[in-house]
Amino acid sequence: MFRSLALAGLVAACAGLSPSETSVRTVDEDGDGRADRFELVTNGMVERSTRAPAPGTDPERTLVLAIDGIPYDVFAHEQAEGRFAAFFPASRMLAPFPSLTDVSFTALLRTLPSMAYEDKYYDRAAGEVKGGLSERVGGDYRSLAPFHEVFDWEQPVTWGGFVYLAPSRVAEAELLRVVEIIRESEDPELVLYLGSTDGLGHEDGREALRVHLRRIDHLLTRLLAEGVGGRRVVLLSDHGMSDEETRRFDLESALERGGYRLADRLDSPADVVVPAYGLIGSIQVYTACGEEEGVARAIVAQEGADFAVWLADDEVKAVDRRGAADPLDRSPQLYPELRRRVAEGLRYPTPHPANVIVDLEPEWHYGLRLFEAFVSMAGTHGSARYEQSVGFVASNVDQTPPWMDVAEVYPYLALEREPAPVARFVPACAAG
Q: Which is nearer to Zn ion, 101 or 389 (CB)?
A: 101
Q: How far apart are CA 272 and CA 266, in angstroms?
A: 6
| Secondary structure, 3-state, 71-116 | CHHHHHHHHHCCCCCCCCCCEEEECCCCCCHHHHHHHHCCCCCCCC
Looking at the Cβ atoms of 88 and 277, the one nearer to Zn ion is 277
Q: Are strands 261-262 and 128-131 parallel, antiparallel or unpaired?
A: unpaired
β-pairing, 247-248 vs 364-365, is parallel
**What minimum distance in Å lies between the beta carbon of 351 and Zn ion?**
21
Report, in Å, the least distance between residue 44 CB and Zn ion: 43
Q: From the CB of 69, what's the least distance to Zn ion, in Å? A: 5
The CB-of-382 to Zn ion minimum distance in angstroms stands at 9
Nearer to Zn ion, 147 or 260 (CB): 147
Q: Are strands 62-67 and 189-194 parallel, antiparallel or unpaired?
A: parallel
Task: Considering the complex, state which of residue 156 and residue 323 has its C-beta at the smaller distance from Zn ion.
Answer: 156
In the bound complex, what is the minimum distance in angstroms from residue 21's beta carbon to Zn ion? 38
Considering the complex, state which of residue 86 and residue 404 has its C-beta at the smaller distance from Zn ion. 404
- Other beta carbons within 10 Å of 195: 22
Count Cβ atoms below 10 Å from residue 374 Cβ, excluding itself: 9
How far is it, in rounded angstroms, from Cα 355 to Cα 387? Answer: 25
Could you tell me the smallest distance in angstroms from the CB atom of residue 377 to Zn ion? Answer: 15
Amino acid at 230: G
Alpha carbon distance 238, 391 (integer Å):
6
Give the Cα separation of 312 and 184 in Å (integer).
53
**Taking the complex as a whole, how short is the minimal distance between the CB of residue 425 and Zn ion, in angstroms?**
22
Nearer to Zn ion, 69 or 71 (CB): 69
Residues that bind Zn ion (CB under 5 A): 68-69, 101, 198, 238
If 0-12 CB within 10 Å is exposed, 13-18 middle and 19+ buried, where does residue 22 land?
middle
C-beta separation of 228 from 186 below 8 A: no
Nearer to Zn ion, 238 or 359 (CB): 238
